[in-house]
């Protein structure tokens, strides 16, 4: 009953060409869209000379933008309710560390008031986020 032709035999090799094509298309899509995913609130940070801080987990960031609006990570919060919101968030976190980002145009008193609210929520470590000062290379002519 066997006809003897090889065309009736099953092929045991897997064709990976469609899989590779799909993966390349996905790679291109992610490479194009990744730069568009901007995270956070736009703030003009003050410059300072300091070493970068290392954080082991996803940091909790309180931001004050140029208009004085307060955010916890990317979510807008009323400054009067900041203490309560932070206290609820910190109940579920093992580290009680918060980073504060404030626009350099915000009055000092407003920043200090937010710092007091943050500390009142039970924060043990409060870090200030700044941008590093870029030192200009001296342009002295060489002889």
Would you identify the CATH topology of the domain 47-132?
Nucleotidyltransferase; domain 5 (3.30.420)
Q: Which pLDDT belongs to residue 43?
A: 63
The secondary structure element, H or E, covering residue 19 is: helix 17-33
For the stretch 110-136, pLDDT in tens is: 888 999 898 888 888 888 887 777 655
Secondary structure of residue 105 in the 3-state scheme: coil
Q: Which pLDDT belongs to residue 49?
A: 64
For the stretch 51-103, pLDDT in tens is: 655 656 677 889 998 888 999 888 888 888 888 888 888 888 878 888 999 88
Q: How far apart are CA 104 and CA 106, in angstroms?
A: 6
Q: How far apart are CA 95 and CA 123, in angstroms?
A: 9
Token pair listed for 94: 């093992």
Token pair listed for 8: 């009736």
| pTM score, whole prediction | 0.56
Task: For the chain, give every domain's residue range.
Answer: 47-132
**Per-residue pLDDT for 24 more than 90?**
yes
């Amino acid at each position: 009953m066997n006809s003897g032709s090889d065309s009736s035999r099953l092929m045991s090799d897997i064709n990976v060409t469609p899989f590779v094509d799909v993966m390349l298309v996905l790679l291109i899509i992610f490479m194009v869209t990744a730069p568009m995913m901007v995270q956070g609130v736009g703030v003009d940070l003050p410059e300072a000379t300091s070493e970068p801080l290392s954080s082991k987990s996803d940091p909790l960031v309180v931001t004050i933008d140029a208009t004085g609006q307060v955010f916890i990570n990317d979510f807008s919060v009323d400054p009067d309710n900041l203490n309560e919101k932070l206290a609820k968030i910190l109940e579920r976190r093992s580290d009680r560390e918060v980073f504060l980002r404030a626009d350099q145009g915000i009055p000092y008193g407003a920043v200090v008031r937010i710092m007091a609210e943050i500390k009142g929520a039970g924060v043990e470590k409060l870090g200030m986020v700044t941008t590093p000062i870029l030192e200009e290379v001296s342009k002295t002519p060489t002889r």
